[in-house]
Amino acid sequence: MQKHDISIAELKNKPYVRMTDEEKELAKRLGLVQTNRMSSGVRTHGMVHVTTAYWIHEKVPSEESVSGYYYKRECTCSSCGYHVNMERPICPHCGAVMEAEPKESK
């Protein structure tokens, strides 16, 4: 995975017309750009409204664990409730960017 000079938050707030080609490519790969076709056939680009969310991990009580519980491997998106087996930077179901500070898990 490449290290980029711009953060996702900065990319969301930057107008599409002021982005460099590299930033436009990154925004498209992250799903932040929406391409629309006008009635005249001209394509227009605009930034998509992006929600910030966090992954929720469920606690399971366990007598074998030192702390008395362990976290399940599966996680749930706080925005849409979609379950995945591994944390990702963006929810594959709703497209929420996982930047928010997580609240206390269940």
Residue in the structure block whose two tokens are 């008395």? 68
Residues 55 and 94 placed together within one structural domain of the fold? yes
83-84 vs 69-77, strand pairing mode: antiparallel
CA dist., res. 43 & res. 9, Å (int): 25
User: Which of the two residues, 76 and 36, has the higher pLDDT score?
Assistant: 76
Residues 56 and 90 placed together within one structural domain of the fold? yes
Residues 20 and 59 placed together within one structural domain of the fold? no
Question: Is the pTM higher than 0.85?
Answer: no
Domain that holds residue 11: 1-34
Segment 30-75, tens digit of pLDDT: 777 666 565 565 555 555 556 788 888 888 999 888 889 988 889 9
The reply to whether 71 falls in a domain is: yes
Instruction: Provide the pLDDT for residue 35.
Output: 61
CA dist., res. 29 & res. 90, Å (int): 11
What three-state secondary structure class fits 90?
strand
Mean pLDDT (whole number) for 18-25 = 79
CA dist., res. 24 & res. 37, Å (int): 18
Confidence of residue 1 (pLDDT cuts 50, 70, 90): very low
Segment 80-95, tens digit of pLDDT: 888 999 888 888 887 7
* Number of domains forming the structure of the chain: 2
Instruction: Provide the pLDDT for residue 90.
Output: 84
Q: How are strands ordered across the β-sheet holding 55-61?
A: 55-61, 69-77, 83-84
